[in-house]
Amino acid sequence: MSQTNPVILLVRNDKMGDVILCMPAISWLKKNLPNAKIIWLVKKELRDLAMLCRHVDDVLCDNSFKSLKHNINSYQFDAAITFFSTFKIGYLIKNANIPVRLAPKTKIAQLFYNYKVIQKRSKSQKPEYEYNTELVSELFNILKVDNILDIDEPPYIKLDDVKSEQFKKDFISDYKINPEKKIIFIHPGTGGSSNTLSIEDFSKICIGLRSFDNYNFIIHHSVDEKEVVNEIFSKLPKNVLAIKIKPTKDKIQMVKNISVCDVFISGSTGPLHIAGALNKKTVGFYPSKISSTSLRWQTINDFSKRLDFEDLGKARAVISVELNKVILEIQKHIDKLEIV
């Protein structure tokens, strides 16, 4: 195996937030193995999002078994890291005779790997992105990489500065918002990944923040969450103006939209993690169950740009918080941020 120019397969073929939380590990891998060729395997619908990771050379899609087997075998991989393994992926990686096959030591799929790391992620003893960097650290040990450099700082998604500035100007113009006031994105949907606040509580956050300043509230949502958005609008008084985002299935367009905001407020969702990867201010609401804590699923923006709240457990269907206290904390969080 070439230690100076290895060809490395990385696998994370589940949800959007999981893919985003691999980016610090990939950045660190490329920083310490700058001549490595890094290929990332993700779900087909997340390919464009994965391509925004600056340290990836190519992206493979988790297609049919036959197609995926052909694509993996077409590369002469020196190593593979599966951040979260499934039986199918483990089988194909072993079948491709990749010399170094590394994954968490969990479930039956671990049998396909010759290097394993005990992690017990479900106990949530550290952030998800740190579990991912642990696997990269183990690869450094296997390859005997010396003088390991520190992990890069965010943002992990970097858009073209000139184009981004023009996009923001066009966004402000198209949505007819006040360029002198901060842009607050509210994302009330869940994406099916975990509970979030009730629609009523999201609307009360808008009402409470409006008493401090005339913020631009943008209600961000997917194409499948229109009913949720209509419900939140039905609960907002006329003096609390808010604008519906034009929903899109285009992941690049979604990233561009989120890049406009100053603060992103949401439950633990993929869009929240996109905001984190862009190093935006985030406000996240998390369930209290062990596998879904704010520690494990924290965003990857600067620590000072994160504000997280966990469920107090007063309701089953939604996350409950001390709303008045939360609104004050969010206002303080917003005040720390200058308009970019």
Q: What percent of the chain has pLDDT over 90?
A: 84
Q: Indicate whether 339 pLDDT > 50.
A: no
Looking at residue 3, its pLDDT comes to: 58
Residues 43-67: what's their mean pLDDT?
94
The rounded distance, in Å, linking the Cα atoms of 188 and 265 is 8
pLDDT at residue 1 in the model: 53
d(CA 315, CA 204): 17
As a whole number, the mean pLDDT across the chain is: 93
CA–CA separation, 100 and 82 (whole Å): 11
pTM of the complete model: 0.95
- Over range 203-217, report the average pLDDT: 97
Domains of the chain: 7-143 (3.40.50.2000), 161-335 (3.40.50.2000)
The model's pLDDT over 294-321, given as tens digits with 9 standing for 90+, comes to: 999 999 999 999 999 999 988 778 999 9
Dihedral in degrees, nearest 10, Cα atoms 141, 147, 150, 152: -90
pLDDT, one tens digit per residue, over 235-278 is 999 889 999 999 999 999 999 999 999 999 999 999 999 999 99
Contact 321, 195 (CB under 8 A): no
Predicted pLDDT of residue 330: 98
**pLDDT surpasses 90 at 192:** no
Residue 231 has pLDDT above 80, yes or no: yes
pLDDT digits (tens, 9 = 90+) for 7-48: 999 999 999 999 999 999 999 999 999 999 999 999 999 999
Q: Is pLDDT at 191 greater than 90 in this prediction?
A: no
